Structure 1
Amino acid sequence: MSILQALDSYYHRLEGVAEPGWSPEKFGFCIVLGPDGNVIDVEDKRDLSGKKPAIKTYIVPASFPRPGVTPRAFFLWDKTAFALGVTKSKQVDGWERSDKQHAAFLELHTERLAGQTDDGLIALRLFLEQWYPERFDGAPFRPDMLDANIMFRIDGDRNLLHERPAARSLVQRYAATEEAEEGEGTFCLISGDRGPVARLHPTIKGVEGAQTAGAALVSFNLDAFTSLGKTQGDNAPTGQSAAFRYGAALNHLLTRDGSNRIRRPIGDATVVFWADASDAKAAEAADAWFGAALDHDINDEAEAAKVRIELEALAKGKRLSDVRETIAPGTRFHVLGLSPNAARLSVRYWLTDYLDEFAQRVAQHHADLKIEPAPFGWGAAPSVNRLLARATALQEKFENIPPLLAGEVMRAILSGGRYPQSLLAAAIIRLRAGDDPLSGWHVAVIRAVLSRDYRFHFQKEDVPVSLAPDEPNKAYQLGRLFAVLETAQRMALGRVNASIRDRYFGAASATPASVFPLLLRGAQNHLAKLRKAGKGGWIEKEIEDILDKLTLDLPRAFPLAEQGRFAVGYYHQRKDQFRVRPEAAAELDAADQTEEGE
């Protein structure tokens, strides 16, 4: 099923969504008119409950794309540039006239309101006949109205002007007339019905980073994008009704803080998702599970334990519908990632499958990430965004997540395919740049990439989940050795300005032959100091045990995968070496305190 077909099908299951001829738009103000067209008041329609006024959404006569230089006005509402003929001045504070736009608004309404007998429509016509932009300087108009969307209401009527029965009838009549004027048309690629083709496709709003006025998912504006001499919408024949439906459905999904979108973009992609289910409750349950699985960081211990049990069951092959009774078996599910591209949208990924399949892939993703001990602040199932920010982004900022990498990681998670090798590279680059490997986030990502590569036969060896002293891999053992040498330095010298990890971690993991001889020579001084103090005997034994597992010829260079295993070995050794040696941990604490005292 194509994206547009799935969205068209979803529209038919929605309640409270805009009907053909109408669209949801964001508004700030409403002008209250008297029966004679005089302005009674200006109502602030924004949500004023928060620290800053927030604009609210209303269903109004449909908007449409306005390309080119010829102004085209919306019916019964528009920006102040059209409705009032005033816009923010580009040169100084205040406003300037927008005569061409206001003339288009006046012409449209003069034509459509002629002969109307409804009191509200008459009041709007009279208002426009007597309005001139300079009146904006007086009360009740205010500067923050400039360039906001404006609608109208008649004094004494609780309904907005466009909600009056006569106005609604007029909107529907002109919508039907415009469609009939298009002629018989051709076959629609979405529905298969014959009818007028949408020349311009709907404007999609709500994609992070895209133009605030909206962007096009389907558009043709250059000869290079066309075929067989066709222009604009004829290159992808979509009926006007079907185009409206898919646009309305997608705009509904993209509603900010809606239940069908991931709150923060993953990379540069705004992600929406929805279930194909005839039962509304089953669809809501499916959407809620998916949103929680990819977008929520669960740190509450009781909830985390519950989620872990569920994910482990899914990873072992159980169906989600068996684990959660509220989810119907055989539920189809769709995931769409959209990225901004100037005035258009790029489809970063489009995935559709049974929700049970998606659930098992998400569970396998978390199983691949498993590392012991768990990273600091890990919780039960970290969101994709948090994982990428902690392991791949500069300063751990969400906006610094590499966008292409984020898209490929999301695709790998939801398709169950191989993680991109750029994910492994990004995590190792951050470690070489100075990120703390003991946070565990980078190591978890590294293990996930290598473990999945092993399962797909791209690697010959798996990666241990927890400390494995007998692991035959040389890079893993060298990571362990590096951790022990660092501990020897700390126990001998206490806290220092630059430890061997600060100075040599990247070089030791990439070119061990050139670094470890130097480190081992330096360690002899540390060990001698510890022997004199009667401490750290276990460190020498640990070094000997690790060296016994290594051949004398150290590798000159490690490829990326082996650098990852080095980091895993380092993490395991550092986190586990004091677990069974509480007395050694006390010695290390004493060394740190002594150094600070000096």
Structure 2
Amino acid sequence: MILQSLVHLYDELSRQGKVAREGWGIAKVSHRLVLDEEGGLIGIVSARKKVLRGKKEKEIPSDMMVPLPVIRASGVKANFLCDNSSYLLGVDNKGKPERTKECFEAARALHHQILDGCHSAEARAILSYFDHWDAAGARDNPLVQTNLEDILGGSNFLFHVGNKDVSDIPEIRDAWERYYRSGGGEEGTIKGQCLITGKKDMPIATLHPKIKGVLGAQSSGANLVSFNAPAFCSYGYDGEQGQNAPVSEEAANAYGAALNFLLADRTHAKVMGDTTVVYWSEHGEEAYQDGFLGMMGDEGGLTDEELDDVLAHMKEGRSSDIGGISVSPDEPFYILGLAPNAARISVRFFLRNTFGAFMKNMEAHEGRMKIVRPSWEKGRIPLWRILKATANPHSKDSASSPLLAGSLLKAIFLDGRYPEALYQNMLRRIFLDRDEPAGGGRPAVYKVSYVKAAMVKAYLLKNCGTKWEGKIQMAVNEDCNDISYVLGRLFSVLENIQLSANPGINSTIKDRYFNSACATPASVFPVLLKLANAHLGKLDQPREIYFKKKLGALTDKIAMPDTGTPLPHRLTLDEQGAFVLGYYQETQARYAGKKEEK
């Protein structure tokens, strides 16, 4: 299903001119080999382009459309028109002259096989070059000597005849495409039915294309489909590589081109933890990706106003307009999560649904996350911030758990239950972190931050909805009498009393007692209430009266039993979350009140 969806995307992108058509691909070209009409080498010209790297200008190879390069694992295999110096010049620094000679001869044979029937001057010039070029003495050629350092350090070379790149000559392009469609003309090419397209008698890909752009995978590219041990192979296909899952070369190149296109666009391929998430609509329209990106809370997508308009239309089942493009809620939409695995890529998840369904699921998550926030927090909470909040802010590797990223994203995209590990990690960070001001290039750390509190609220509403629905709201719920929530609010008031009595204090009761008050309130709150009485005595009469009324209103919500303490000895995990929310919302109400007074 994954490969089939990517092949369909390739067809759409190809029709739109966004990717190379069948049989063509992008290669990095560093030089052009300039030939005259008789096939003589008359120049080696740089094809590099200048780019800025920081403050410095640097020359790098140009990305050019050329006949689809072959996939080399080992052995000698030539490319058409564009290749490295071993194949096109017979020159390299590998110290294996016999192999270098074999490479040049392979290139010569391939070009004769494809161009022998062509009559254009450019095709005859290329064949004449291969027939007359002295590969054995190539190093002594004046042009090679002059450019030897560039040649040995270059990437690929492309033939250039008559002021034209030969890949632009119609007759040569047609000859290549006939050759490519015939299966490459290689002896021993295995043909069969393609698992992806269903076409019969198709050349089967032995090696699949490299996928580049997955965070943590090899920079040269990694395989999404590959087999290198009998344990991974079907019966009777041990050691046969691509035959184990027969995919035609046409389909393999198509899915590779489509996936590399998505990964190359960093706006529409986001990294969450160790998971690289790519997403696309069935018809390859970027407007859908922009809308999805906006819902993930990342810059580069739509504004909040535009998103609100799109969501309003989606709820009614109507199409919306994004950048002049009509966006339908019924458009099939795909989300693929990829993670590195040595020289291969593992699939964290693959989800398919309509665009409208995904948007509604993410909006439901946003609704659960809504909570009163500090003045400096704006817009939606990006998904990466939720994951980051579960990691140690002082760790060199501040990435979240790899498995946690995949399970959280699936829960949000499918509107499922949040992973228990996410909630437990969030509580652990609340217990372990301390308030720290920003400094030394490091952002401020908050014990109970906006993101942590929002995720705790979302978890309680989704996973424990029968207990907390109606009790947990966006801001302080004065009518909620659940003791764990009330105790959280009470702790915030006690902290406020201490701060009012001791302005500029370095350490508050939050630093010493928050964790134990949240987990075992019966053992801590009597001590805190006793401290509060001492602090109240230091305040002026109006503030003392205000805080006594506040304390009285909260303690009145705590039911008095006939025997024993009214405070619970222990709070369950979901009650600890309610305690955190009570503390956070009461604290935010305090700051909001001060702002209104000013």
Which residue, 529, 549, 559 being the options, matches 1:541? Answer: 549
Deviation, structure 1 residue 102: 3.4
Partner of 2:341: 341
Separation of aligned partners in 1, 2:484 and 2:102: 72
**Given the alignment of the two structures, is residue 234 of structure 1 paired with residue 239 of structure 2, yes or no?**
no
Separation of aligned partners in 2, 1:499 and 1:290: 43
1:82 and 1:446, CA in 2 relative to 1: closer, same or farther beyond 3 A?
Answer: farther
User: Does the residue aligned with 2:333 lie in a helix, a strand or coil?
Assistant: strand
1:342 and 1:304, CA in 2 relative to 1: closer, same or farther beyond 3 A?
Answer: same
User: Does the residue aligned with 1:292 lie in a helix, a strand or coil?
Assistant: helix
**Given the alignment of the two structures, is residue 498 of structure 1 paired with residue 507 of structure 2, yes or no?**
yes
Give yes or no for contact 1:85–1:101 (8 Å, CA) kept in 2. Answer: no
Separation of aligned partners in 2, 1:499 and 1:98: 73
1:156 and 1:105, CA in 2 relative to 1: closer, same or farther beyond 3 A?
Answer: same
Separation of aligned partners in 2, 1:528 and 1:134: 97
Partner of 1:268: 274
Separation of aligned partners in 2, 1:306 and 1:18: 33
1:55-91: CA deviation from partner (whole Å, max 9, x where unpaired): 5432222234333x5354434334567666788xxxx
Give yes or no for contact 1:71–1:100 (8 Å, CA) kept in 2. Answer: no
1:74 and 1:304, CA in 2 relative to 1: closer, same or farther beyond 3 A?
Answer: same
1:506-560: CA deviation from partner (whole Å, max 9, x where unpaired): 23222223322222222222112125x7634312221222222224342333232
What is the TM-score with the length of structure 2 in the denominator? 0.83
Separation of aligned partners in 1, 2:174 and 2:64: 18
Partner of 1:412: 411
**Given the alignment of the two structures, is residue 468 of structure 1 paired with residue 477 of structure 2, yes or no?**
yes
User: Does the residue aligned with 2:206 lie in a helix, a strand or coil?
Assistant: coil
What is the TM-score with the length of structure 1 in the denominator? 0.83
Counterpart amino acid of residue 46 in structure 2:
E
Separation of aligned partners in 1, 2:595 and 2:272: 42
Separation of aligned partners in 2, 1:474 and 1:299: 42
Partner of 1:249: 258
Counterpart amino acid of residue 356 in structure 1:
G
1:352 and 1:77, CA in 2 relative to 1: closer, same or farther beyond 3 A?
Answer: same
Partner of 2:46: 43
Partner of 2:290: 288
1:546 and 1:151, CA in 2 relative to 1: closer, same or farther beyond 3 A?
Answer: same
Matches within 5 A, 1:112-151: 112-114=110-112, 118-123=124-129, 129=135, 130-132=137-139, 139-142=146-149, 148-151=154-157
Give yes or no for contact 2:70–2:77 (8 Å, CA) kept in 1. Answer: no
1:207 and 1:517, CA in 2 relative to 1: closer, same or farther beyond 3 A?
Answer: same
Give yes or no for contact 1:512–1:556 (8 Å, CA) kept in 2. Answer: yes
Separation of aligned partners in 2, 1:471 and 1:385: 32
Partner of 2:219: 212
Partner of 1:445: 455
1:209-258: CA deviation from partner (whole Å, max 9, x where unpaired): 2112211111111111112121322222222222222222222222234x
Deviation, structure 1 residue 443: 0.5
Give yes or no for contact 1:189–1:237 (8 Å, CA) kept in 2. Answer: yes
User: Does the residue aligned with 2:279 lie in a helix, a strand or coil?
Assistant: strand
User: Does the residue aligned with 2:339 lie in a helix, a strand or coil?
Assistant: strand
Partner of 1:4: 3
Structure 1 unpaired stretches of 5+: 88-94, 587-598
Give yes or no for contact 2:80–2:110 (8 Å, CA) kept in 1. Answer: no
Separation of aligned partners in 2, 1:48 and 1:416: 44
Deviation, structure 1 residue 469: 2.2
User: Does the residue aligned with 2:338 lie in a helix, a strand or coil?
Assistant: strand
Deviation, structure 1 residue 358: 0.9
C-alpha RMSD of matched pairs (Å):
3.5
Deviation, structure 1 residue 397: 9.2
1:325-364: CA deviation from partner (whole Å, max 9, x where unpaired): 8213421111111111111111111111111111111111
Partner of 1:31: 32
User: Does the residue aligned with 1:23 lie in a helix, a strand or coil?
Assistant: strand
Counterpart amino acid of residue 194 in structure 2:
C
Matches within 5 A, 1:313-352: 313=312, 317-319=315-317, 321=319, 326-352=326-352
Give yes or no for contact 2:32–2:47 (8 Å, CA) kept in 1. Answer: no
Partner of 2:71: 65
Q: Which moved more, 1:216-225 or 1:104-113?
A: 104-113
Which residue, 181, 189, 193 being the options, matches 1:187? Answer: 193
User: Does the residue aligned with 2:12 lie in a helix, a strand or coil?
Assistant: coil
1:105 and 1:383, CA in 2 relative to 1: closer, same or farther beyond 3 A?
Answer: farther
Counterpart amino acid of residue 461 in structure 2:
S
Which residue, 103, 106, 113 being the options, matches 1:108? Answer: 106
Give yes or no for contact 2:80–2:111 (8 Å, CA) kept in 1. Answer: no
Separation of aligned partners in 2, 1:478 and 1:566: 6
Separation of aligned partners in 1, 2:309 and 2:580: 28
1:75 and 1:147, CA in 2 relative to 1: closer, same or farther beyond 3 A?
Answer: farther
Which residue, 517, 521, 527 being the options, matches 2:530? Answer: 521
Deviation, structure 1 residue 148: 4.8
1:81 and 1:465, CA in 2 relative to 1: closer, same or farther beyond 3 A?
Answer: farther
Give yes or no for contact 2:81–2:159 (8 Å, CA) kept in 1. Answer: no
Structure 2 unpaired stretches of 5+: 117-122, 434-444, 560-564
Give yes or no for contact 1:275–1:334 (8 Å, CA) kept in 2. Answer: yes
Deviation, structure 1 residue 567: 1.3
Give yes or no for contact 1:267–1:401 (8 Å, CA) kept in 2. Answer: yes
Separation of aligned partners in 2, 1:397 and 1:469: 42
Q: Which moved more, 1:104-113 or 1:441-450?
A: 104-113
Deviation, structure 1 residue 400: 1.6
1:98 and 1:57, CA in 2 relative to 1: closer, same or farther beyond 3 A?
Answer: farther
Partner of 1:508: 517
1:349-404: CA deviation from partner (whole Å, max 9, x where unpaired): 111111111111111111111002x3454433232223433565635999623322
Partner of 1:223: 230
1:272 and 1:149, CA in 2 relative to 1: closer, same or farther beyond 3 A?
Answer: same
1:274 and 1:56, CA in 2 relative to 1: closer, same or farther beyond 3 A?
Answer: farther
Separation of aligned partners in 2, 1:484 and 1:293: 36
Deviation, structure 1 residue 265: 0.9
Deviation, structure 1 residue 500: 1.7
Separation of aligned partners in 1, 2:574 and 2:152: 57
Instruction: Work out the number of aligned pairs and report it.
Output: 559
Q: Which moved more, 1:72-81 or 1:329-338?
A: 72-81
Percent identity of paired positions between Structure 1 and Structure 2: 31
1:225 and 1:519, CA in 2 relative to 1: closer, same or farther beyond 3 A?
Answer: same
Counterpart amino acid of residue 432 in structure 1:
F
Partner of 1:357: 357
1:447 and 1:396, CA in 2 relative to 1: closer, same or farther beyond 3 A?
Answer: farther
Separation of aligned partners in 1, 2:189 and 2:87: 30
1:498 and 1:410, CA in 2 relative to 1: closer, same or farther beyond 3 A?
Answer: same
